[in-house]
Amino acid sequence: MKMKTKAVLIVIVALIGIGIFAPIVSAETAEEWNNKGIGFAMSGEYEKAIGCFDKVIELDPNSTYAYNNRGNAYENLKQYKRAIDDYNKTIELDPNSANAYNNRELALSKLKEQEGEP
């Protein structure tokens, strides 16, 4: 009888552990990560936003919105070369993305200004 009690107790503890820790480690969708990133970007937390967009890209390497959003975050951090790389990737994945072309041109302009070019 003692053996069954211990086994039941172990199972109960395991189930409680799963119930507590599962939400912490549960997989989130690319869309959820993107939304988190947008929230961080809107509050000016661009490094955190970039981390979220990195996760989106890890989950979905063809996510044009993640590359474009990450480019926006890099641009806000004045990391124009990295922003341009992300806009280029967006355009590579979606040659019809007018938003990415526009963002890239703005970032190129800011980069030239930053480097002291006319």
Helices (H), the chain: 2-25, 30-42, 46-59, 64-76, 80-93, 98-114
Could you state, in chain order, the average pLDDT of each consecutive group of 10 residues for the chain (118 residues)?
Answer: 54 49 58 96 97 97 97 98 98 97 97 85
**CA pair distance 71, 97, nearest whole angstrom:** 14
The pTM of this model reads 0.75
Domains for the chain: give ranges and CATH numbers: 28-114 (1.25.40.10)
The structure tokens listed for 53 are: 């967009």
**CA pair distance 13, 50, nearest whole angstrom:** 37
**Looking at residue 71, what is its pLDDT?**
98
**CA pair distance 59, 41, nearest whole angstrom:** 20
